[in-house]
Amino acid sequence: MKVLTVIGARPQFIKAATISNKIRKKNTEILVHTGQHYDNNMSDIFFEELGIPKPDYNLSIGSSNHGHQTGNMLIALEDIYLKEKPDMVLVYGDTNSTLAGSLCASKLLIPVAHIEAGLRSFNRAMPEEQNRILTDHISDLLFVPTLTAQKNLAAENITKGVYNTGDVMYDAINLFKERAKKVSTIVETLDLTPESYILSTIHRAENTDSIERLTSIISALSNCNEKIILPLHPRTKKFIEEYNLPIGDNIKIIDPVGYLEMVSLENNSKKILTDSGGVQKEAYFLKKPCITMRDETEWVETVQNGWNTIVGSDSNKILDAISNFSPTGTPPSAFGNGDTSDIITDIIRRYLG
């Protein structure tokens, strides 16, 4: 049986690293990289260091407006689906690649499996929210990472084909954190002392595309009394330059990094300041206090369990959290037992007969 997997962005590469090789033990997998993330530091390096099979197709779509990008993906994917005739299409997360991959399959009556289904921010202005809702409603297998995600689907009358499997990102952290300790030298290269800095990431359109929000965030980072390490997403860099925002001397900007380097930076930080969904979870898994610069989060368990705080883009709230948010103890288990990839591949095989 043949599974066609569609990926295109950093978080999806990480998730595929836990699944693809296991699918290939008993089934054929065709891997399609849409090229949504196209910079080497955002894409190629992940395949190399995580041992992800080389893509059978690279669409090289690149960055564009949402409609244009998604439309180009649909056109290219339809040709591939018609040629390869997969028995199932597998998609991850909530990007434009996710929506294009699932919608194209649905139009051709190919079953769709969605890993990381059921997440909801309840903010329809987010492109990610639109993508995940639409994908869930046309999927045949829905692999949810938490009980909350399962309840979200039930509230939308989606109960058939839903499996609470745990989170593949937990599998990934368990798989790669020890490797990161052995091979990553980024902490030494940057001359950092463990627990002496805050790691920050900023990339969501709601923050980067708003001069008010991005100005407020950069102002807070520049005026705190902590050393900030900021791997700079290309879109964030573009808007910082366009808005001509001053950067504090305490902020060290670096290029985007590979997954193992990112895990090393996370694991050696004292706190994490982010607007990324994946980084929120990685902080939780690594027992790092997380300050989330959004107005809501899909990962409500991280907040409910006391290891994540939501501050939006408010400078005062960001500064207060940097100074005072310090959870202790061990985060409760909320994302499975670290065997999610095995559970998912077993369900896919049973489905395909």
Catalytic residues: 203
If residue 77 lies in a helix (H) or strand (E), which one and from where to where? helix 66-84
- Integer Rg of the chain from CA: 20
CA distance 157 to 143: 16
Q: What is the residue whose two structure tokens read 């991850």?
A: 92
CA distance 192 to 211: 31
CA distance 123 to 131: 12
CA distance 144 to 114: 8
- Answer whether 177's CB lies under 8 Å from 187's CB: no
If residue 252 lies in a helix (H) or strand (E), which one and from where to where? strand 251-254
| CB-CB neighbours of 150 under 10 Å | 19
Angular region, 191: left φ>0, alpha ψ -120 to 50, beta rest: left
175 in helix, strand or coil? Answer: helix
Q: What is the residue whose two structure tokens read 């037992």?
A: 337
CA distance 122 to 129: 7
Q: Which residues contact 352 (CB under 8 A, 6 or more apart)?
A: 1, 3, 27, 87, 88
| Distances 353 to 2, 26, 302 between C-alpha atoms, Å | 11, 12, 37
Write out the two tokens for 85: 């005739």
If residue 294 lies in a helix (H) or strand (E), which one and from where to where? none
Helical spans, DSSP H, in 224-339 = 234-243, 259-268, 277-285, 300-304, 315-324
